[in-house]
Structure 1
Amino acid sequence: MLRRRMLIMLGFVLLIVLLLAGYKAFSIYQQVKMFSVPKPPVSVAVATAIERPWQNRLPTVGTLKALQGVNLSLEIAGTVKEVQFESGQKVKAGQPIVQLDSAVESALLETAQADLGLSQLDYARGSQLVGSQAISKSEFDRLSAQLQKNKATVNQLKASLAKKHIVAPFSGTIGIRQVDVGDYLPSGTVIATLQDLSSLYVDFSVPEQSVPKIALGQPVQVNVSAYPTQNFPGTISAINPKVENTTRNVLVRATLANPDSKLLPGMFASLQVMLPDPQPKIVVPESAITYTLYGNSIFVVAQKKAADGSLEKDANGQPILIAERRFIETGEHRDGMVLITKGLKNGEQVVSAGQIKLDNDAHIAISADKTLPAEQNSQPRAD
């Protein structure tokens, strides 16, 4: 009886072992079957490497300056009698700006003019008397000198009186006023700044080895941080005829229009000097480049080949596309495009989006990249 029970237990254990072994074998079979099924293609966006004229540029930085710009200040001291402008106002050349109290100068001028009138009468009378020898020649010379002295005094007081009346030396935009009516201002006090913003200068430096690349009239593009997406065109208007001893740079000035008064003097500017003779270069979207410490690479679209060199095709008779990793050398970056100096040919298709999912020789399917222009979006092509 005991022996029979042991046989039943052994049979039951053997059945459980067989069931577990069968389940494990079925799981292994399912996994093998799953891995034996071909992976679906990875959907990627593709762009075409195109050859186009690429104008080399000389990058540099500079500072904007007004075509004309001054700080309006006083030559002589005085008390402000009238302020004749508003802060930020556009003024014309000769427009009154500030009037200082000139009562004392006006009174002195009247006195000097009276003395001048008297000396003119004395001189006229003396010129008649000296002819008849009624007065000596030395007395007539004294009358002549007195007349000249009084004329000079009148002119001096007129000039001093004119300096009490400040006018705009040129047309432009006046800044925030620094004075008020009743202020006593010593000489040299700044009233406000006046800037002509119709055009601007931008001064920048280039290294001496780049001097042969620049010339008068050469175009430049100016960019400022206030308008990061906008370029302002200008032309080189002056080149300093001297190399600075300390920096070995040459100072260059470009002129640019400022019709909307967007740009202001003192702004920091990034410049691109357009060099002549554009050359055809191959460019691709910046998103197509993979940057690593070991070098820059790109995935190029290719057609899968069999061992005998023939092209493999899918069930629909279409070529099977794969992504081949290729190491390249890059150049300048500009407007979302990258210059390829080595490793890519004109017309080749490159993966512009979806590279993170790819390995070398991965099966791919192409979809449109809405971030690229129509001429760079690519479809599969037959070789």
Structure 2
Amino acid sequence: MTPSSSRLTPRLLAALLVLLLATLLSSPPAAAQERTPVIGARATLAPWSDPLEALGTLRADESVTLSATVTDIVAEVNFRDGQVVEAGQLLIRLEDAEQQAQLRAAQALRDERRATVDRLAQLQSRNLAPRADVEDARARLRQVEAEIQGLEARLRNYRLRAPFDGVVGFRNISLGSLVTPGTELVTLDKVDVMKLDFSVPEVFLALLEPGLPLTARSVAFPDERFEGHVESVGSRVDPVSRSVSVRAELANPERRLRPGMLMEVIVQRSPREAVVVPESVLVPSGDRQYVLVIDEDDQNRVERREVKVGERRTGQVEILEGIEAEELLVAHGVQRVQPRDQVTLLGVADADTSVPEILEASRGERD
């Protein structure tokens, strides 16, 4: 060894040692390098049911077409197209001057006969009038009172009032129009509650009962779901279609639903509380289903667990056995994780936090 090389050896060793320490300090531990980033999802306890789909038609809770029962001229029209009216509100009045005059004459005759009865009753109490005269006067009074009741009943035919709260249809008559018995004057529908009629196959008859919840959707309001319940189930099965008719009720406080609309119906059969997970957590293997459970108390170590799957919805699955509510599962990244691996949890996807938001936040932290 030359003198120059012996002097350089300590310096070279020191440089190599410094370089090795810097490399060790700057490199993450091997375990950290092996951790796979994943996005998790929690199993939740949520309302669940077995959906039964059908098509139905809406009907008003109450519906009537008011028609004329007498022949006369329209004297008043007290509504506008589509107006909301109350029960008892006067909608149309027909000309009734002649009938009013007949009523006034009968009322005057009643007053006269009532006075006669009172006068004869006083005389009879003093034995100054026969009892038979008093009875005859009372009979004539009852006769005129009956005539008044008949006139008042006929007068009601000249006034068309709303039989219930509702919405009137188009006004198709004008003042001065001559109407005859049977002439349709106005329609009235009670639409704050709607009836929904639909049919289901008879195979589901045993599962149908009043009170079952349901949701309905219309193409007119594609982003909305209308809640209701089964009101009654038909007493007969159609021998041709082998289906049974079902009637449901839907609340319609804003009166947006209209009679005659076609509705897509989903009846919630067998309502229950169930453990629900996103469909993305399932790992199929043959005819079995597994999930990857993240043990938060063991440094996010993953456990592979078999589960029993129930009904499915779009993007969601009912779990009958295998996991409990609130357990944390691998939802995205399942193909890169093995049992007993420790993972890096980027976030938990739920109703308030989406997968793109979690990925964007994770990318921002790395930058």
Question: What is the TM-score normalised by the length of structure 1?
Answer: 0.58
Name which of 107, 115, 134 aligns with 1:140: 134
Change (3 A) 1:376 1:282: farther
1:239 aligns with 2:232: yes
Contact kept? 1:94, 1:169, Cα under 8 Å: yes
Distance 2:234 2:258 in 1: 27
Contact kept? 2:276, 2:317, Cα under 8 Å: no
Distance 1:82 1:241 in 2: 43
CA shift at 1:239, angstroms?
1.9
Change (3 A) 1:209 1:132: same
Aligned counterpart, 2:210: 216
Aligned counterpart, 2:355: 374
| Secondary structure of 2:221 counterpart | coil
Distance 2:261 2:312 in 1: 25
Name which of 237, 248, 272 aligns with 2:266: 272
Structure 1, residues 304-355: CA drift from partner, whole Å, max 9, x if none? xxxxxxxxxxxxxxxxxxxxxxxxxxx99965x5989xxxxx979899xxxx
Contact kept? 2:88, 2:162, Cα under 8 Å: yes
Residue identity in the other structure for 1:139:
D
Aligned counterpart, 2:121: 127
Distance 1:228 1:197 in 2: 20
Residue identity in the other structure for 2:103:
L
Contact kept? 1:123, 1:144, Cα under 8 Å: yes
CA shift at 1:56, angstroms?
2.2
Contact kept? 1:283, 1:338, Cα under 8 Å: yes
Residue identity in the other structure for 1:374:
V
Question: Mean Cα displacement is larger for which, 269-278 or 56-65?
Answer: 269-278
Distance 2:220 2:311 in 1: 24
Distance 1:333 1:89 in 2: 45
Distance 1:332 1:376 in 2: 29
1:85 aligns with 2:66: no
| Secondary structure of 1:216 counterpart | coil
Distance 1:59 1:231 in 2: 14
> How many residues were matched structurally?
265
Change (3 A) 1:104 1:339: same
Contact kept? 1:75, 1:187, Cα under 8 Å: yes
Change (3 A) 1:209 1:279: farther
Structure 1, residues 231-274: CA drift from partner, whole Å, max 9, x if none? 212122x2236223535543322222223322101111110101
User: Which structure is larger by alpha-carbon Rg, 1 or 2?
Assistant: 1
CA shift at 1:153, angstroms?
0.8
1:153 aligns with 2:134: no
Structure 1, residues 50-100: CA drift from partner, whole Å, max 9, x if none? 999874211112111222322222333321011111111222233221111
Distance 1:274 1:63 in 2: 18
The CA RMSD measured in Å over matched residues stands at: 4.0
| Secondary structure of 1:128 counterpart | helix
Residue identity in the other structure for 2:158:
K
Structure 2 gaps, min length 5: 1-38, 281-309, 319-329, 336-353, 360-367
Distance 1:193 1:88 in 2: 10
Aligned counterpart, 2:50: 56
Distance 2:78 2:331 in 1: 68
| Secondary structure of 2:79 counterpart | coil
Question: What is the TM-score normalised by the length of structure 2?
Answer: 0.60
CA shift at 1:108, angstroms?
0.4
Residue identity in the other structure for 1:167:
R
Matches within 5 A, 1:174-193: 174-193=168-187
